[in-house]
Structure 1
Amino acid sequence: MSRLEHEAEVLKLARFLDVEAEALDMLGEVPAADIRALRAQVTHFFFASDHHFFKRLVAASRLLPVSLLATVAGKVLGPMLSARVAGQMDVDRGVGIAQRLPTNFLAELCLSLDPEHTQDLIRAMPTQRIRDVARVLAAQGEYVTMARFVDIVTEEAIRGVLEDLEDDAALLHIAFFVENKARLERILALMPEARLVRIIELAAARNDLWPEALSLMEHVGDGWRGRLGDLAASLDDHVLDSMIRSVVAEDLWSVVLPVVGCMQLESQARFAMHPSMQEPAMLHSALQAADREGTWHLMLPVVEQMDDTARAAVAQQVDALDGEQLLRVAEVASVEGQWQSLLAIIAAMAPQQRTQMMALLGVAPERTLQGLPEALEATRQWALLDSVWADLGANAQARLRKAVAAAGLEERLGASSPS
């Protein structure tokens, strides 16, 4: 899970415990999945406590008319205790009571309601009632609460809420906290493309919304990632500029690169060749993040979409990587079949840097060199090896020659690489 996922889980736990997120700083290194499991356990414990008391209370309530129960809920129990009772209530009677309670009361009740224990009741609620409550929650900025019900309410209710919720920023905030991210795809399918474009443009106009927008892209399937990414790449240059700068500022390369990988080639090229991506600071940030987060397999294809000038800029930043980092890049190129992308960077290196890179490959494990000779053959770039051969040490020459011979391509080594 990404840092965005971790942040969302901390905020949801803080909301349930009714504390500020800063009070949970001790969870900074705890995986998001563990925080989610902790929240589930805390929720279960909270609603299991006094379970028998509320069950007896509901049993006694069956003797009273619905109209009187609505009065008791509003005047005696209040929203929080009514939420506890709702989990034990018969669906039909629960709906009848909810129909008689003020909308603002129901909205406050939702803050303490557990969707898991009340899903049958929630699904039975009239769509218009859900829309009314959703408008109040949205106006109060209760995005965490709204997100908890996305996986429970009917599609008809979601469609209605989308029609009512004109604030696209609120929509992004809600999506950030959605429990079942797979449901997001169905929600996106209910929205016209014009609104999707409007949301992306809003994120570009307000950089503080890019984390939410990218989180949305992160938690849908490849098809929707590609579609949303293509939409962003098709808009004015300032949209991609805003995205890239936000990615650097928030350190979100591990989030954006999978999205770029799902784009059409034309969109990938536009991202890779955007002027913002050519800035040394941007490239440095991207390469360091790729090594730190193990996403070289996503970064290398981006470089392949660049022209020679842009690749030369990448090569300059690669020069700042140490030997271990460079070997990790080569290992990824071998495992992922991306030698062609790495060769594009090597070809853009200055002669001395290229010699150092080839010498480093000469001491790499044999498994790392797998695929290199075939990539040199496919791209017709044997000159990259031949041009530095004389400057390589004997051991490096021997290891590279062995890899080339294992691929059955030893005759491709030029005259400058004697036996």
Structure 2
Amino acid sequence: MSALLEQAERLKLARVVGCEVDELGPLGEASAAELRSARRAASNALFGRHRSLFGKLAGTTRLLPTKLSAQFTQKFIGPTLAGRVASEMEPKQALALSERLPTPFLAQVCLSLDPGRSEAIIQAMPTELVIDVARELRANQEHIVMAQFADALTDEVVAAVMDSIEDPGDLLKIGFYIESKPRLETIISAMDDAGLARTLEAADQQGLWPEALAMVDGTSEALRARMANLIAAQPDAVIRSALDAAGREELWPLLADAVVLMADAGRSRLIALLDDPQWRRSLQAALAEQGADPAMLPD
């Protein structure tokens, strides 16, 4: 789980400083929290140093007719720099320009766009355009980038984007990388049980149990209990898949939290599926670490 987060942070940092992941040097060995701090510091430094240039380029595009400005942006500014220039644009200007740019180009712009600095622009975009760009990002497997926009988009637009995503595995990957747990909780809470159950099926079929279990880690007890009971309601093969993944990926602390929060019937059902003695020992140890009642899973 931590390896996935660290890899995501390495990628985000590499994009900010304009290098490949393997060129990060000693930073490549840092923890996810350290990489996140380095990324934010680098972003602030780069933006502060070049803000006057970004402002001039934004001013240049404002002086040109929109069609010509779109051509200028594609041919001379490019998507990476355009993402940084966007934060210096007025929402009305950015909207008019975005409507003249092809969706693949806008998706590339998103890779360097800072959602925190560009929130007003992002919220000015029509829902259909956001959905089109999201489809392009999803097709490019840019789940990390999609997750970065969760805070900047309204609940309504987020719901529309989620409805447009056909593969529930994509929802798991995006949810796992959303940094704000309160925002993630709002998004997951808006999903019905059938939709969440489909993400658990995807976790089984696509090997995404680390994402599924870690996604709700740090959210409210009520949401974690809801997810725990949905796990317990899955077919035996799906529950065994979760247990097997816990053994392979060292997910027992997350699974133990789910077991503690399950209703008695669901917990009993999961415990009855502990076919492997090592599963039982590992879950017992994780429950003990959490201070759970030993009677919850007796020898």
- Which amino acid in structure 2 is aligned with residue 137 of structure 1? L
- Which amino acid in structure 2 is aligned with residue 177 of structure 1? Y
Rounded to whole Å, the distance in 2 between the matches of 1:76 and 1:142 is: 25
For 1:191-232, what per-residue CA distance to the aligned partner results, in whole angstroms no more than 9, with x for missing partners?
2321211111221233x2100111112142111110111011
- Which amino acid in structure 1 is aligned with residue 200 of structure 2? I
For 1:244-300, what per-residue CA distance to the aligned partner results, in whole angstroms no more than 9, with x for missing partners?
111111011122222222222222232333333xx3222333455x4xxxx625363
Rounded to whole Å, the distance in 2 between the matches of 1:24 and 1:54 is: 25
Other-structure match for 1:13: 10
Rounded to whole Å, the distance in 2 between the matches of 1:22 and 1:168 is: 31
When the two chains are superposed, the root-mean-square deviation of aligned CA atoms in Å is 2.3
Rounded to whole Å, the distance in 1 between the matches of 2:36 and 2:282 is: 30
Secondary structure at the aligned position of 1:191 is classed as coil
Superposition deviation, residue 6 in structure 1: 5.7
Unaligned segments of structure 1, at least 5 residues: 315-419
Higher gyration radius (CA): 1
**What percentage of residue pairs aligned between the two structures are identical?**
33
Matched, 1:239 2:238: yes
Superposition deviation, residue 160 in structure 1: 1.2
Higher relative contact order (CA 8 A, sep 6+): 2
**Retained in 2: the 8 A contact 1:10–1:35?**
no
Rounded to whole Å, the distance in 1 between the matches of 2:23 and 2:256 is: 32
**Retained in 1: the 8 A contact 2:83–2:110?**
yes
Unaligned segments of structure 2, at least 5 residues: none
Superposition deviation, residue 181 in structure 1: 2.1
Q: Choose which of 295, 305, 328 in structure 1 pairs with 2:296.
A: 305
For 1:66-87, what per-residue CA distance to the aligned partner results, in whole angstroms no more than 9, with x for missing partners?
3322221122211112112101
- Which amino acid in structure 2 is aligned with residue 217 of structure 1? V
- TM-score in terms of structure 1 length: 0.65
**Retained in 1: the 8 A contact 2:200–2:212?**
yes
**Retained in 2: the 8 A contact 1:83–1:112?**
yes
Distance 1:265 1:30, change over 3 A: farther
Rounded to whole Å, the distance in 2 between the matches of 1:20 and 1:230 is: 42
- Which amino acid in structure 1 is aligned with residue 53 of structure 2? F
Distance 1:27 1:36, change over 3 A: same
- Which amino acid in structure 2 is aligned with residue 13 of structure 1? R
For 1:371-395, what per-residue CA distance to the aligned partner results, in whole angstroms no more than 9, with x for missing partners?
xxxxxxxxxxxxxxxxxxxxxxxxx
Q: How many residues align?
A: 296
**Retained in 2: the 8 A contact 1:181–1:219?**
yes
Other-structure match for 1:128: 128
Rounded to whole Å, the distance in 2 between the matches of 1:272 and 1:299 is: 18
Distance 1:154 1:138, change over 3 A: same
Other-structure match for 1:161: 161
Rounded to whole Å, the distance in 1 between the matches of 2:23 and 2:221 is: 36
- TM-score in terms of structure 2 length: 0.90
Secondary structure at the aligned position of 1:300 is classed as coil
Rounded to whole Å, the distance in 1 between the matches of 2:254 and 2:29 is: 19
Rounded to whole Å, the distance in 2 between the matches of 1:24 and 1:250 is: 26
Other-structure match for 1:179: 179
Rounded to whole Å, the distance in 1 between the matches of 2:24 and 2:279 is: 32
